[in-house]
Amino acid sequence: MKKLDLYITKKFLGTFIFMIMVIMSIAIVIDISEKLRDFTNPDYNLSFWEIAIDYYPYFFLHYVNLFSYLIIFLSVLFFTGVMAQRSEIIAILCNGVSFWRFTRPYMVVSTALLIFALFMNHLMVPNANKQRLLFESKYTPVNGSFQNINLQMNEKTTLHYKVFNAKLNIVTRMWVETWEKNDRGLYELKTDMQVMKAYGDSVSNLWKLDKVFIREINDSNEVVKEIATIDTVLSFNVKDLGQRDNIMESMTTSELVKFRNQERNKGSNIVPKIEIVLYERSAYPFATYILTLIGVAVSSRKSREGVGKNIIIGLMASVLYIFFMKMTTVASLNVGLAPVVAVWVPNVIFTVVAIALYTIRLRE
């Protein structure tokens, strides 16, 4: 590795790590302020070390991985802009180094970060999220209202509900479906229970159900029951209802593929959402290449406005990228756009933009 490559690599990684520490320090402080009441709840009796060891390392991994491509982009904009303001880039190019040669260490570092991000997305972070979500489900109960939610509670139980009031632990219009495998290895509906109103216990799995309609499906016939009120035990409690919707974050890619196939066999309407999560695990890391190329092309010019102009341009580009990603995701969930297209279209659009900007800079 030549001195130029080593110099840019140190700048790139040093700025990237520095920005991660700054951004995550702010994020952790904000999160602590929001969860302080739960952490100091005498019923939980949590110690400082339990919070610091059992929760925040996994919180750190999750959010660093989630925003890594944007942090990489801002890092490239910042340190390249500083180099441009100090006329370092002009000096490098005037010594016979082509702009393509100057860009090479950026792409080498981006490749290493991309490979690491793929490993994080598909394996490491899902395992970390298991611990994070377990901690949150125990010590940070949800206080809010959720509407029109479909959840996979376990391998055999699917839950749908109209409204869930997490403060009062009341569920309105709840459907609980129980599935079992048949001789062909496919899941078949065995029990369909519809409840007008359900009152749950946040400590145990005890439930009080009002106006219950139960349909039991056998091989040859169906048995229908109507019950005015019943006290029963279900395989979940109210704590699961507000937080289990993000259970896909805690699945490795192999587990997520298996989960998708199960839901597809059931005809579930959450299959597009599962596929979006699945494809995002590869699409987001590849955004590292695109945003790095845009960052180099934009910030390598010396500007009278200084580094601040590059940061503003970077933030605008980040907002546009997120906007396109969310827009196509909504189109996939509501209009029927294929999930793989919805996830990769923003990358394709920004690839064209990156190539155009880089080509213009290359010809200068």
Lowest mean pLDDT among 20-29, 161-170, 216-225, 302-311: 302-311
Q: What percent of the chain stands above pLDDT 90?
A: 12
Average pLDDT over the chain, rounded to whole?
A: 83
Give the pLDDT band (50/70/90) at residue 267.
low
Q: Which two tokens stand for residue 253?
A: 């890619």
Q: Which pTM does this prediction carry?
A: 0.73
Tell me which residue of 228, 224, 199 sits closest to 211, measured CA to CA: 228
pLDDT of residue 237: 75
Q: Domain spans of the chain? A: 3-140+272-363, 154-235
pLDDT of residue 12: 92
Helices 339-363 & 99-119, crossing angle to 10 degrees?
Answer: 160
If DSSP codes are grouped into helix, strand and coil, which group holds residue 35?
A: helix
Residue 303 pLDDT > 80: no
Average pLDDT over residues 191-211: 85
Residue 188 pLDDT > 70: yes
Q: Decide: 238 and 166 in contact? Cβ < 8 Å.
A: yes
pLDDT of residue 16: 93
d(CA 255, CA 252) in angstroms, rounded, equals: 5
Give 318-360 pLDDT, tens digit per residue.
778 878 888 888 888 777 788 888 889 888 988 898 888 888 8
Burial state string for 46-63 with b = 16 or more CB within 10 A and e = fewer than 16: beeeebeebbbebbbbbb
What secondary structure does DSSP assign to 181-200, as a single string?
E-TTS-EEEEEEEEEEEEEE
pLDDT of residue 11: 92
Give 47-97 pLDDT, tens digit per residue.
888 888 989 999 999 989 888 888 898 888 889 888 888 888 888 888 888
Average pLDDT over residues 111-115: 91
DSSP single-letter state for residue 121? I
Distances (CA, A) of 232 to 61, 174, 201, 237, 347: 39, 14, 11, 11, 50
Highest mean pLDDT among 135-149, 266-280, 347-361: 347-361
- Give me the sheet containing 170-181, strands edge to edge: 145-152, 157-165, 170-181, 187-200, 206-217, 222-233
